[in-house]
Amino acid sequence: MAWPYFLDCDRFFVSDQEGCYDPLVMLRASQETALARMSPEEPSTIIQFTYQSNAQMINVLKKTASKCSDVARTYSIGRSVEGKDLLVIEFSDNPGQHDLLEPEVKLIANMHGNEVLGRQLLIYLTQYLCSEYLLGNHRIQTLINNTRIHIFPSMNPDGYDLAAAEGHVYNGWTSGRANAQNIDLNRNFPDLTSIAYSRRRNKRYRTDHIPIPDSYWFGKVAPETYAVMKWIRSIPFVQSASLHGGELVVSYPYDFSKHPLEEKMFSPTPDEQAFKQLARTYADAHTTMADNDTDRCGASFGRKGGIINGALWYSFAGGMSDFNYLHTNCFEITVELGCDKFPAEEELYTEWKRNKEALLSFMESVHRGIKGIVKDEQGNGIKGASISIRGIRHDIRTAEDGDYWRLVNSGVHILTASAPGYTKVMKKVFLPAQMQKAGRVDFVLKKAVLEPEQVDFPAMDTYDRFDPYNQFERYSLSELGENGEDRQEKPWWWGYFTQFGESTPTWLLRSY
């Protein structure tokens, strides 16, 4: 292989036959800790374990994507308040497109601008994935060839700038946490959890694909929040991790307490078992997270094995993870990487070693549960069909080509596939423990003539019209209209509100 090392040696680096070294890093840390090596005999990935500015980060991501152009690309999902690109790097054997039955996973960091470790870990991870793929690392090649991975190292680059200006020694607990409008992005998502709770009196209530309430749009919506909402609505993500700092624990939804007056209350989703397994996947593969010392960052709370239900830790509304779960198919956990939100540079390599296996295991764990395709009798995939599991009040919907993924623990499950205009199909599935990949369960639905009252969920087109996001094109499409003209300068939600006029449409009354 002509290109065994990640770094090009520019004038800041010294090189020998084995690769490029930053003499400053070599001085700062021991040789052992400056370089990540698989083994002394084999060529290995070399990463600079330093902090990177926003410009340097963008540069690393773009450089990585061009080194690995067969399996990587970068794309922007929008801009921050101060106009910085919100850049994502994607790894896949077919970058830029969804492959049938191939699960999609995302990793997000630096949502709080002053929680910077996750951002660095994700930058290192992109370099590691690219380099190891090229070096022929079998595990990494298998992962990338079978998974579409989206890595978003900095959701709040404006906040990062503020925190980085203070630096490791002076950065306090909150400086740079919020975005440039002083909005805490992890409180800025629509509060769908309250809606889910208010539905519980209804016998047949579900907790999925809850529309964004109108009132949300009258509040302040940060551009970073908006960009992420649009992003997670346009890609069929299966699972996600959001990396934070300030504690050492993995928390999972709900983050908002089911009791309005109880700020620390166990508030499980219908997918408690699957979420616990997902959280454990990260905590167990981390070198110290699952240890049972309960007050390592000064606060004592009821974590077990390094994981905790979010609302049991502390309750808050408007979080990103609850939104993922209640509005889309995606299951998101929150990873608190350590007590120090802004560790010293010398700690970065140690932290990479602590988290590397956890990050890899988390991405690999998307190949669990059940997946398949829902088709009609002609063999065409049915988009937007619901997959229900008996006993779990949370449905998953099929993607564009009728494919779906259902994270669920081992055992016997009764699955039902349904779609408007088709008859339901039910299947009993046994998912063995220790299964190394997702079980495949396909459905063929027959056309049916249904009476309107037999439709017990809102039809897809109703849902689409209700949701203001559908007034927008996907972020990857051109900003120009079909004929190349600029789009109208109306607010993006304009069409949504003007569509209905004064009267409430009757179908709204029927949707829960």
* 90 labelled catalytic: no
Q: Spot the catalytic one: 336, 347, 351, 364.
A: 336
Q: Does 84 bind Zn ion (CB under 5 A)?
A: no
Of 49, 71, 101, 112, the one binding Zn ion (CB under 5 A) is 112
* In the complex, minimum distance from the CB of residue 111 to Zn ion, in angstroms, rounded to a whole number: 6
**What is the distance, to the nearest Å, from the Cα of residue 378 to the centroid of all Cα atoms in its chain?**
34
**Closest residue to Zn ion in the complex (CB):** 244
Nearer to Zn ion, 22 or 115 (CB): 115
Give the position of tokens 């690999």: 364
CB count within 10 Å of CB 263 equals 12
Print the binding letters for residues 121-140 with Zn ion: x by CB under 5 A, - otherwise.
Answer: --------------------
* In the complex, minimum distance from the CB of residue 447 to Zn ion, in angstroms, rounded to a whole number: 49
Backbone angles phi, psi at 222, to 5 degrees: -65, 145
Region binding Zn ion by CB under 5 A among candidate stretches 95-103, 237-245, 313-321, 451-459: 237-245
Q: In sequence order, which residues have a C-beta less than 8 Å from that of residue 307 and are 6 or more positions away?
A: 249, 250, 251, 252, 276, 279, 280, 283
* In the complex, minimum distance from the CB of residue 114 to Zn ion, in angstroms, rounded to a whole number: 8
Q: Does 244 bind Zn ion (CB under 5 A)?
A: yes
* In the complex, minimum distance from the CB of residue 85 to Zn ion, in angstroms, rounded to a whole number: 22
* Angle subtended at Cα 423 by Cα 418 and Cα 426, rounded to the nearest 5 degrees: 60
**Contact yes or no for 307/279 (Cβ under 8 A):** yes
**Contact yes or no for 157/54 (Cβ under 8 A):** yes
Nearer to Zn ion, 135 or 249 (CB): 249
* In the complex, minimum distance from the CB of residue 334 to Zn ion, in angstroms, rounded to a whole number: 8
Classify 87 as helix, strand or coil. strand
CA distance 306 to 47: 28
Region binding Zn ion by CB under 5 A among candidate stretches 130-138, 244-252, 373-381, 458-466: 244-252
Question: Nearest to residue 279, comparing CAs of 231, 227, 239?
Answer: 239
CA distance 69 to 3: 14
Region binding Zn ion by CB under 5 A among candidate stretches 163-171, 236-244, 406-414, 418-426: 236-244
Q: In sequence order, which residues have a C-beta less than 8 Å from that of residue 456 and are 6 or more positions away?
A: 204
Question: Nearest to residue 117, comparing CAs of 282, 321, 340, 283?
Answer: 340
Region binding Zn ion by CB under 5 A among candidate stretches 19-27, 48-56, 104-112, 437-445: 104-112
* In the complex, minimum distance from the CB of residue 410 to Zn ion, in angstroms, rounded to a whole number: 32
* In the complex, minimum distance from the CB of residue 466 to Zn ion, in angstroms, rounded to a whole number: 31
Question: Nearest to residue 312, comparing CAs of 276, 264, 273?
Answer: 264
* In the complex, minimum distance from the CB of residue 297 to Zn ion, in angstroms, rounded to a whole number: 13
* Angle subtended at Cα 190 by Cα 335 and Cα 492, rounded to the nearest 5 degrees: 120
Residues 18-47 within binding reach of Zn ion (CB under 5 A):
none
Nearer to Zn ion, 112 or 206 (CB): 112
CA distance 284 to 287: 7
Nearer to Zn ion, 122 or 389 (CB): 122
Size of the site for Zn ion (CB under 5 A): 3
Nearer to Zn ion, 244 or 375 (CB): 244
Region binding Zn ion by CB under 5 A among candidate stretches 37-45, 107-115, 118-126, 385-393: 107-115
Give the position of tokens 């990463």: 47
Nearer to Zn ion, 209 or 244 (CB): 244
Classify 299 as helix, strand or coil. coil
Nearer to Zn ion, 91 or 362 (CB): 362
Classify 243 as helix, strand or coil. strand
Cα radius of gyration rounded to whole Å, the chain: 23
Nearer to Zn ion, 137 or 251 (CB): 251
Burial class, 88, CB count within 10 angstroms (exposed 0-12 / middle 13-18 / buried 19+): buried
Region binding Zn ion by CB under 5 A among candidate stretches 210-218, 243-251, 280-288, 312-320: 243-251
Give the position of tokens 């423990």: 433
Q: Under the rule (CB under 5 A), what is the footprint of Zn ion?
A: 112, 115, 244
Residues designated as active site:
336
